[in-house]
Amino acid sequence: MKIVVLTGGISTERDVSLSSGAMIYEALCQRGHQTVLLDVYLGTAEEVSEDLFKTSRDLVAGMAKIVETHPDLESVKALRPDGDRMYFGPGVLAVCRQADIVFMAIHGDGESGRVQAAFDLMGIRYTGSDYLSSAIAMDKSLSKELFLQNQIPTPQGFVLKQGEQETETVSFPCVVKVCSGGSSVGVYICEDKQSYEAAKKEAYGYDREILVEQYIRGREFSVGVIAGRALPAIEIAPLTGFYDYKNKYQAGSTVETCPADIPEAAEMKLRRTAEAVFRALRLKAYARMDFMMDAQGKIYCLEANTLPGMTPTSLLPQEAAAEGMDFGSLCEHLIEVSLGNQRE
């Protein structure tokens, strides 16, 4: 197949996207696909011709490295003088139109639904959820409303908008997070009023809407869902702190156990709830749901990720491996499921 692996972008998850994209690109090349790795924002200076897919091409060239802090986006934007007028980089749409499918490896930017909407209008096929379900899942406050309407357990919380008067009563500890973000960027655990005020100020630097949630003390799990069926649950136990940006992507920072070492009934409850979230948010193809479990064994869904990470330390590949599916097979399976959805 002719496949574009679309990566990069200009969100705080840019580095994660580059790492995911590089791993997917290598796997698809090894399995004989004509593959092009392309940064959605920076694009390519090369002329886009019909010969582009004759050999696999890495048009990102060694940029895929995740450091402990999220990237300097202003320096990336400086590389595109027209970047404030056009999201897609030079040649991106022309290259994508030549492909049989675009493998979406754009975390953050690619999960808002806007790229999917543009592709739908141009007849470009892509992996993952459609524009509507992507947008719903990206908005944590809207997701929480749908969780509650569908009897899916989730932490209590409320939304704050920048500039509006705060009327809710806050109990500590609590969690402050941006409504539309990922990789735990803009997420803060607050123990008191002082840390709460500081967290709100920082979170508003990422988003005009933030979510304040009940803090759930306990164990953290994640469950991938492909074509509506849950994979084995994975437990996530950071060696220090919580599952923040550093602990997500730096090897050795977190102990990840898959299948999770919990009673079968608890594991099945996680899986069935993940499938319920998949249906409630109208998700397509694949996604990954994050959970907390308190000391009494009650589970709470935190959010859904419509384009889960595909890096060496990412959770979805580990869950698939627990069922005997290697990384290359997983990539091809996600393509197959996505194409099946878009043919319907």
Q: pLDDT per residue over 286-323, tens digit each? A: 999 999 999 999 999 999 999 999 976 789 999 999 99
Burial of 73 (0-12, 13-18, 19+ CB in 10 A): middle
Q: What is the pLDDT of residue 66?
A: 43
Q: Is the dihedral of CA 275, 281, 287, 291 positive or negative?
A: negative
Diameter of the chain by CA atoms? 62
Q: How far apart are CA 334 and CA 67, in angstroms?
A: 27
pLDDT bin (cut points 50, 70, 90) of residue 243 is: very low
* pLDDT score of 62 more than 80: no
Question: What tokens appear for 164 in the block?
Answer: 């509006």
Continuous H helices in 150-263: 193-203, 245-249
Could you tell me if residue 195 is left (phi over 0), alpha (psi between -120 and 50 degrees) or otherwise beta?
Answer: alpha
Chain-centroid distance, C-alpha 232: 18
* pLDDT score of 104 more than 50: yes
Q: Angle at which helices 327-343 and 14-30 pack, to 10 degrees?
A: 100
Question: What tokens appear for 138 in the block?
Answer: 């990206």
Model confidence, pTM: 0.90
pLDDT one-digit tens code per residue, 141-163:
999 999 999 999 999 999 999 98
Question: What tokens appear for 244 in the block?
Answer: 């923040």
Q: How far apart are CA 116 and CA 112, in angstroms?
A: 8
Pairing of strands 2-7, 34-39: parallel
* pLDDT score of 12 more than 90: no
Instruction: Reply yes or no: is the peptide bond before residue 173 cis, omega within 30 of 0.
Output: yes
Q: Among 151-155, 176-180, 279-283, 284-288, where is mean pLDDT lowest?
A: 176-180
Burial of 239 (0-12, 13-18, 19+ CB in 10 A): exposed
Continuous H helices in 186-326: 193-203, 245-249, 264-280, 315-322
- SS3 (DSSP) at 152: coil
